[in-house]
Amino acid sequence: GAVVSQHPSWVICKSGTSVKIECRSLDFQATTMFWYRQFPKQSLMLMATSNEGSKATYEQGVEKDKFLINHASLTLSTLTVTSAHPEDSSFYICSAKGGRGSNQPQHFGDGTRLSIL
């Protein structure tokens, strides 16, 4: 149980392109979803938190106009990297948490490797 599917796994695109990444909770309702960015050999950096039906809460330093997050249903959140540039190349990981209790673990997708040429 508690499976999170993230798509696509790999994206290679030209500079200036917008890229959408999907995160789905397959067997539970995700009241909260999180988007992280991970640089090589580093820990996860939280970018934003989204609750279903409301606007995402972005971490300090994360451009909300650059990284658009939509959490329209209890099983789907999307991250759109708008007008991507080479510095946006990274490993993006989503996670989802069900229920309202704070002791529930986050369940992670397998990540999306984004390479901007």
Partner 1 sequence: AQSVAQPEDQVNVAEGNPLTVKCTYSVSGNPYLFWYVQYPNRGLQFLLKYITGDNLVKGSYGFEAEFNKSQTSFHLKKPSALVSDSALYFCAVRGDYGGATNKLIFGTGTLLAVQP
Q: Which residues bind partner 1 (CB under 8 A)?
A: 2, 4, 6, 32, 34, 42-44, 46, 49, 51, 57, 91, 93-95, 97, 102-103, 105-111, 113
Residue whose CB is less far from partner 1, 20 or 113:
113
Query: What are the residues facing 50 on neighbouring strands?
Result: 33
SS (H, E, C) 61-117: CCCCCCEEEEEEECCEEEEEECCCCHHHCEEEEEEEEECCCCCCCCEECCCEEEEEC
State in angstroms the smallest separation of the CB of 97 from partner 1: 7
State in angstroms the smallest separation of the CB of 66 from partner 1: 20
